[in-house]
Amino acid sequence: MTEQMLVALGSNIHRERNLPRAIELLRRDNRWRVLAVSPIYQTPAVGGAAPQPDYFNAAALLATHLSPADLRQALRRIETALGRVRTVDKFAPRTVDLDIVFVRDRQLALNGRPLPDPHILEYPHLALPLADIAPDWLFPGVGLTLKQIAEGLHPSATEIKKMITSDRPNINMLSHYGTDRIFEAEESEIYDPEFEELIRQILVRIGEDPEREGLRRTPLRVAKAYDFLTSGYATTVAEVVNNAIFTDSCDEMVIVKDIEFYSMCEHHMIPFFGRVHVGYLPQGRVIGLSKVARIVDVFARRLQIQERMTNQIADALVDILAPMGVGVVVEASHLCMMMRGVQKQNSSTITSAMRGLFKKDARTRSEFMNLIRDN
């Protein structure tokens, strides 16, 4: 049976990195679906004797077959991957907190903690993010929805401050749309100890010494690189489009061509790369041009085969635009053919996906193919 659960997230150590990273790791796990993520809020630390940095707080709505106890264990593993070390001081600063606070239509105790978490009724840093993504959930025994609870707390600007939306962590953290600084191995940085250990084992397996000077920080850099190269798993088309769809009477073909991409083949995890050409015939709606390139990256930044990626891009545009037709052509070179196997350095692969009029009408398809080849 699938259940919906609300998870509260918080961080006040490297919070700008760790909270979006936690959201990304939630999105990558196929044992649940992330249905919604709240905006991020900045709040003062609650409790504790010594002053400490403000928290970034958010909430996520998950649908999962896991029991609350099994989900809790999975969340603890994500905390560990982000460097969380639990101490007896429950008010100590932390890299990240991931706590189940509400199971829909159920009351229970989880490791001695009642769910729903009664702190929701008094702490804005819990109530506001939860109300953003599950406003109509009713708190049992209280007779109030999460939205009503949040509205009744009346937090001041010093108690809680709405920050940035957290629905696109990969664009801010793991994308060339943001910054390359995330790929540097900062001194004493904790990124993902479990992932880094896997890379370290690979280095040993191939006959290297991961402790020699040139490789000492390689596991961290490789972990970051792989997260970037597979960041398509951590986002959706809806998130990258972000409402950049506009009503317009245009009914002529729109083409965005020569969109460069880099992906990794799922058979050998070796890169393939090339160009994507996209065209569509609007039917009352157009999309921001830069969003077409972002859609390509959603699917390219996964383990892929070229044929599937081509069809995924076409189907995504059909789903969000409902156009009269879509055409996608991908031209790529595959290093698994160039570096190994047949070792044909000059080979390339072309795939296409046609939808609507691009498939049914030869003249429309011919116009598209001629335009993308017009230099």
Query: Per residue in 289-300, pLDDT tens?
Result: 999 999 999 999
What is the torsional sign of CA 153, 159, 161, 166?
Answer: negative
Q: Do 114 and 191 reside in the same domain of the chain?
A: no
CATH of the domain at 183: 1.10.286.10
pLDDT digits (tens, 9 = 90+) for 2-26: 999 999 999 999 888 889 889 989 9
Beta bridge partners of 280: 254, 326
* In a shared domain, residues 120 and 83: yes
Cis peptide, bond prior to residue 135, ω within 30 of zero: no
Is 197 a catalytic site residue?
Answer: no
Asked if 336 is an active-site residue, the reply is yes
Last residue of a domain, one of 167, 196, 218: 167
Active-site position among 268, 283, 331, 367: 268
Nearest to 286 by CA among 314, 238, 253: 253
Q: What is the largest CA-CA distance in the chain?
A: 74
- Across the chain, what does the average pLDDT equal? 88
Mean pLDDT on 277-306:
96
One domain, residues 36 and 154 = yes
Over residues 345-368, the mean pLDDT reads 93
Q: Which one from 73, 122, 267, 307 is the annotated catalytic residue?
A: 267
Distances, alpha carbon 110 to alpha carbons 171, 207, 289, in Å: 35, 46, 48
User: Taking a C-beta distance cutoff of 8 angstroms, is the pair 140, 104 a contact?
Assistant: no
What's the count of helices (H) and strands (E) in the chain, helices before strands?
A: 13, 17
**Number of neighbouring beta carbons within 10 Å of residue 18:** 25
Pairing of strands 144-145, 108-110: unpaired
Q: What residues make up the domain containing 272?
A: 236-372
Q: Are 98 and 75 in contact (CB under 8 A)?
A: yes
Q: What is the mean pLDDT of residues 99-107?
A: 95
| Amino acid symbol at 226 | Y
What pLDDT is attached to residue 82? 87
Choosing from 79, 196, 265, 277, the catalytic residue is 265
Question: Is 334 a known active-site residue?
Answer: yes
306 is catalytic: yes
Would residue 267 show up in a list of annotated catalytic residues for this protein? yes
Beta carbons of 107 and 131 less than 8 angstroms apart:
no
pLDDT surpassing 80 at residue 172? no
Question: What's the chain's Rg over C-alpha atoms?
Answer: 24
Contact residues for 331 (Cβ-Cβ < 8 A; gap 6+) = 274, 275, 277, 348, 349, 350
Query: Per-residue confidence at 343, pLDDT binned at 50, 70, 90?
Result: low
pLDDT of residue 364: 96
My answer on whether 305 and 226 are in the same domain is no
Catalytic residue among 65, 266, 307, 345: 266
SS3 285: strand
* Residues 294 and 343 grouped into a single domain: yes
User: Which DSSP state fits 54?
Assistant: P
> Do 199 and 244 sit in the same domain of this protein?
no
Q: What is the CATH number of the domain that holds 309?
A: 3.30.1130.10
Average pLDDT over residues 337-366: 88
User: What would the mean pLDDT of 37-52 be, rounded to a whole number?
Assistant: 82
Q: What pLDDT, in 10s, does the model give residues 128-154?
A: 999 999 999 999 999 999 999 999 998
Phi-psi region of 332 (alpha: psi -120 to 50; beta: other; left: phi over 0): beta
Q: What pLDDT, on a 0 to 100 scale, did the predictor assign at position 347?
A: 78
Pick the more confident residue, 61 or 16: 61
